[in-house]
Structure 1
Amino acid sequence: MPSEKKGHNYDYTIKLIPGNGGTVRNIHLTSKLFKYGIVSLIVSALLLIAVFCFAGYTFFSNKVDKQTIEDLQNANAIQQEKLTELAQKATQLQDSLDKLNAAEKELKSLSNVDAQTTDDSSAGQNADANGGQGGPVIAPDVQNLAEVLDNLEKRVAIHQENIENLRQALVTQRKQQSFISEKSITTPLGMPVNGPISSPYGFRWNGTDFHPGVDIAVDYGSPIRATADGVVTTAGWNSGGYGNMVDIDHGNGIVTRYGHASSVVVSAGQHVKRGQVIAYVGSTGFSTGPHVHYEVRVNDRPVNPASYF
């Protein structure tokens, strides 16, 4: 309780009364000391509050920072995984590009097509030996790797298109070669026997007779050979003056005829090859001696066989 002194200053007495009826103790405080005590309590309370606030701020701040670090680490891990994935894809695309480039060169070589190769993958491989390299060292990131992938994908697409064009050119070329080869073996070439021409193609006997083929003089019984591949359409006796005769259809309207044979060793419908024996030399039909009457007919009209020799 307060007690009044001079200048209206108060002294304070604090009584400590034990609950068991023991001795009561008195603590006397001057007004100044009491005020200091109150101020000290307030300051202590404020400091305690400040400490709690700072501790709480530090705790939550550390928690937020830890979460932020974890988020950044996760984001970095995801980015690294993405970079690794993009780098692997870039490597695979480059491998595919190298193979496509090699395939394109091979097709170009096989087809003999005068086409410029899309690019040369060996340029980078020979850089160390043939020239210098330089520039700033920049770590790959998602953006520049994506640009590289986009460029590689475009080059792969161009290669694929070029390869398809070369493949088509090669297919067309092989078809043409096959046609030429087939045509060459089905086009009459050379003479059915080796011997001198005893009667040429065209008018003879002072223009009184047109000779639709050539007569080739040769020994009796000599083999007569087909001058091209074809199918036998006639094999046997002809009453029109040819005697024993063989006709071979070579396709494309071309037929060869072999007359005056002593005997025929093929039959109608048989497929024969160039150089195959089809008959033997004789003098049957309208003939004055052993020889072969040889004709080349195009669309059922005789032409000069000499142009096929």
Structure 2
Amino acid sequence: MAKIKYYYDTDSCRYERVQVSKWEIFLNVAGIVVLASLFGVLFTFLYTKFHKSDKELELAREVEELKSYYQLINKKLDESDKVLASLQERDDKVYRVIFAADPIPKEVRIAGAGGTEKYSDLLQKGLQAEKLILNTLQKVDMLKRKMYVQSKSYDEIMQMAKSKEDRLARIPAIQPISNKELTRLSSGFGMRFHPIFGGAQFHPGIDFAAPHGTPIYATADGEVVVANNNFGGYGNEIQIKHSEDYTTLYAHLSRFNVRLGQKVKRGECIGYVGSTGFSTAPHLHYEVIYKGEKVNPVYYFYNDLSPEQYDKILELASRQNRSLGAVDSRNVKIQE
């Protein structure tokens, strides 16, 4: 039973009974219902927001793990980029300097990586870790680009190395016979007394006195362009063309160990010492021809001699001693 309520009327100085209409009762009830509904909605919202199911909790943990992995990948990418930067610096300041090649411009090393527009599909998905994922992909693409440019640079350097190695192999650089003790050089380049014609004549090569049959070696890589058997002048003669600049000549041989047109390597036996042609004793007459001019061969013995031996052979070659064979003064360039 509802309690009866009274109020004090000051005009009549009496307690009067409170009269409540049905409309007021309805409004009171409706207010209570609305308030209860609001509390219910608020409770449901807070519950769903702060209370997650086991599946949601598991997915949240996976998202956090993925973020940590992306951060780790970013760290590894930064470390890899530092290593690559070191290789790029070594490439520009060491390798390309050795081969007289220009360094690769910075804009070439980083060109073609592209901007964020290439990730438009990803951006449209509105991923939670969008910025982190986008940053990682950009780093990967940039690293791939730099690695590609660096690999092409190494390919270019390899080609330059092979080319330079081939050029060096085609420059005369050793003595044509075994002469470790430096005792076989009998006549140097320049004015010498000729044993057959008499008087001083220009000697366009150097002579190595050696026993008959001593092996003779190619002083650089090349192709045999002359292998003549004759009884005048240089006698049995071999010429090897090493490049557009260099040719070497070997005269007075007893016999050949190569044929015309054969490719030879530095240090390969091409024939044997003899005394054919205008010769007074078994020896090798050796010439170096540079761009069509005969130059002092002794300057091309640096590859198999120590600095002390090289100085000694220069001194021996400068002595005014007797030549042992023919003189051919065509296209001679005096370098003494």
The alignment's TM-score, normalised by the length of structure 1, stands at 0.62
Among 201, 204, 222, which residue is 2:189 paired with? 201
Cross-structure match for 1:63: 41
Compared CA separation, residues 270 and 174, structure 1 to 2 (3 A): same
Please tell me whether the aligned partners of residues 262 and 280 of structure 1 are also in contact (alpha carbons under 8 angstroms): yes
Among 212, 226, 239, which residue is 1:220 paired with? 212
Question: Structure 1 CA distance, aligned partners of 2:132 and 2:71?
Answer: 10
**Which has the larger displacement, 185-194 or 152-161?**
152-161
Among 253, 265, 270, which residue is 1:273 paired with? 265
Please tell me whether the aligned partners of residues 187 and 250 of structure 1 are also in contact (alpha carbons under 8 angstroms): yes
Cross-structure match for 1:94: 75
Query: Unaligned stretches of 5+ in structure 1?
Result: 1-34, 116-141
Among 181, 187, 208, which residue is 2:171 paired with? 187
The question of 1:246 aligning with 2:234 is answered: no
Query: Unaligned stretches of 5+ in structure 2?
Result: 1-15, 96-102, 104-127, 302-336
3-state secondary structure, aligned to 2:239: strand
| Percent identical | 28
Cross-structure match for 1:17: none
Cross-structure match for 1:303: 295
Among 50, 54, 58, which residue is 2:32 paired with? 54
Question: Structure 1 CA distance, aligned partners of 2:291 and 2:163?
Answer: 20
Question: Structure 1 CA distance, aligned partners of 2:199 and 2:277?
Answer: 22
Question: Structure 2 CA distance, aligned partners of 1:72 and 1:252?
Answer: 86
Higher strand share: 1
Please tell me whether the aligned partners of residues 97 and 156 of structure 1 are also in contact (alpha carbons under 8 angstroms): no
Please tell me whether the aligned partners of residues 259 and 294 of structure 1 are also in contact (alpha carbons under 8 angstroms): yes
Using CA pairs below 8 Å that are at least 6 residues apart, which structure has the higher relative contact order?
2
Cα RMSD (Å): 4.1
Compared CA separation, residues 177 and 207, structure 1 to 2 (3 A): farther
Cross-structure match for 1:232: 224
Please tell me whether the aligned partners of residues 227 and 237 of structure 2 are also in contact (alpha carbons under 8 angstroms): yes
Please tell me whether the aligned partners of residues 111 and 170 of structure 1 are also in contact (alpha carbons under 8 angstroms): no
Aligned pair count reads 243
The alignment's TM-score, normalised by the length of structure 2, stands at 0.58
Compared CA separation, residues 300 and 239, structure 1 to 2 (3 A): farther
Question: Structure 2 CA distance, aligned partners of 1:157 and 1:290?
Answer: 71
Cross-structure match for 1:13: none
Please tell me whether the aligned partners of residues 250 and 284 of structure 2 are also in contact (alpha carbons under 8 angstroms): yes
Q: CA deviation at 1:186?
A: 1.9
Question: Structure 2 CA distance, aligned partners of 1:113 and 1:264?
Answer: 45
Q: CA deviation at 1:278?
A: 0.5
